[in-house]
């Protein structure tokens, strides 16, 4: 795929743009994945980053898939780089755009033992990062309840797992009051509802489309829209 672009996102204050791509080369993994941090005022690259890790005893270079930025209730800006494709994403890195875009926290396999598709979202207050739990083996299993969502407290690093969201959680959204989280299962084409006070799945329904990839609510949260990708 030569130089294959992925996602483009701005920092909350609009000063920085983040752009990921990968280039085929003669490295052990066959390609190198990059992220450029662009100064929006000058339109010049301020930093060039790459990610390298080991997975199941061998070197692995994951391509950047999604990027998301947000400001938490304390006014801290965050940018999360979400690496990987398929059902074995991660690690993910949270940058501080106001501190020279340094990494202030990594979400790794030590935090979330099996990291699924790289689709993370912050809680409405910005203090918790929701990370999909999964793997290729879980995605192909017959249980339909083996995958889940990990809630990572960004202040303490504590992790709470909420299991039972199908085989391949691939989209997450939250009610504005932080009471409920909705998750779509891209393999089973179902939507799951999580009570964030009890950390339990309290409802499920058909996604209405084959292979849902994401979801969003309308302004008064009376309707939930699912995006079908056909996977």
Cβ atoms of 20 and 64 within 8 Å: the answer is yes
Cβ atoms of 90 and 55 within 8 Å: the answer is no
Q: What span, in angstroms and rounded, lies between the C-alpha atoms of 35 and 50? A: 6
pTM score: 0.91
Residue with the two structure tokens 């060039």: 48
Query: DSSP 3-state assignment of 9?
Result: strand
Give the pLDDT score at 231: 61
What is the chain's mean pLDDT, rounded? Answer: 89
pLDDT, tens digit (0-9, with 9 covering 90-100), for 185-216? 998 899 999 999 999 999 999 999 999 989 99
Cis preceding linkage at 91, omega within 30: yes
pLDDT, tens digit (0-9, with 9 covering 90-100), for 127-180? 999 999 988 888 888 877 889 999 999 999 999 999 999 999 999 999 999 999
- The answer for 177, left when phi > 0, alpha when psi is -120 to 50, beta otherwise, is alpha
Q: Which two tokens stand for residue 107?
A: 């979400």
If we measure between CA atoms, which residue out of 171, 101, 183, 113 comes closest to residue 145? 183
Query: DSSP 3-state assignment of 137?
Result: helix
Does the pLDDT value for residue 83 go beyond 80? yes
pLDDT, tens digit (0-9, with 9 covering 90-100), for 40-68? 999 999 999 987 777 777 777 778 888 99
Q: What span, in angstroms and rounded, lies between the C-alpha atoms of 12 and 38? A: 14
């Amino acid at each position: 795929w030569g130089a294959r672009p992925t996602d483009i996102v701005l920092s909350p204050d609009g000063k920085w743009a983040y752009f990921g791509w990968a280039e085929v080369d003669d490295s052990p993994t066959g390609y190198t994945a990059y992220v450029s941090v662009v100064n929006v005022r000058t339109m010049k690259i301020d930093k060039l980053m790459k990610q390298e890790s080991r997975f199941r005893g061998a070197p692995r270079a994951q391509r950047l898939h999604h990027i998301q930025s947000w400001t938490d209730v304390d006014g801290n800006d965050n940018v999360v780089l979400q690496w990987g494709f398929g059902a074995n994403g991660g690690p993910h890195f949270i940058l501080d755009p106001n501190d020279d875009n340094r990494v202030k926290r990594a979400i790794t396999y030590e935090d979330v033992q099996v990291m699924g598709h790289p689709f993370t979202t912050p809680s409405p207050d910005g203090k918790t990062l929701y990370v999909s739990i999964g793997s290729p083996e879980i995605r192909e299993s017959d249980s339909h309840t083996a995958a889940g969502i990990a809630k990572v407290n960004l202040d303490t690093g504590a992790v709470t797992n909420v299991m039972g969201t199908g085989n391949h959680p691939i989209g997450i959204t939250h009610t504005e009051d932080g009471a409920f989280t909705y998750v779509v299962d891209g393999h089973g084409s179902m939507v799951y509802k999580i009570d964030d006070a009890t950390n339990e799945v309290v409802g499920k329904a058909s996604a209405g489309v084959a292979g849902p990839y994401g979801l969003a609510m309308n302004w008064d949260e009376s309707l939930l829209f699912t995006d079908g990708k056909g996977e």
